[in-house]
């Protein structure tokens, strides 16, 4: 899914209401992201990544740094 339209709330709704699994990315400046869950430090190298999951909505979150030092997030719904 395009990074302008990805959001954890959207993925949870697609899964519960329509039974559609999704995967997508978005930038760190999106308001739907909680920076307390995953936050790479500036001192970490660009190959560092962190992941976590939400057991209620069964959504996996990941964060990594790209080649230019920007942070990106990946969301994916987890199937049963």
Kindly list the averaged pLDDT for each block of 10 residues, start to end, along the chain of length 80: 76 91 79 68 73 84 78 76
- Structural domain contains residue 1: no
Residue 52 lies in domain: 8-77
Quote the pLDDT of residue 61. Answer: 83
Query: Domain total for the chain?
Result: 1
- Structural domain contains residue 35: yes
- Structural domain contains residue 2: no
- Structural domain contains residue 50: yes
Rounded CA-CA distance 49/65 in Å is: 7
- Structural domain contains residue 37: yes
- Structural domain contains residue 25: yes
- Structural domain contains residue 62: yes
Quote the pLDDT of residue 39. Answer: 75
Rounded CA-CA distance 60/14 in Å is: 15
Q: Any residues with CB less than 8 A from the CB of 45 and at least 6 apart, and which?
A: 65
């Amino acid at each position: 899914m395009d990074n302008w339209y990805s959001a954890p709330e959207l993925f949870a709704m697609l899964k519960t209401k329509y039974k559609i699994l999704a995967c997508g990315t978005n930038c760190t400046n999106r308001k739907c992201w909680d920076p307390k869950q995953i936050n790479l430090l500036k001192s970490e190298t660009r190959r560092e990544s962190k992941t976590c999951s939400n057991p209620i909505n069964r959504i996996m979150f990941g964060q990594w740094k790209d080649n230019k030092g920007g942070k990106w997030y990946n969301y994916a719904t987890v199937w049963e």
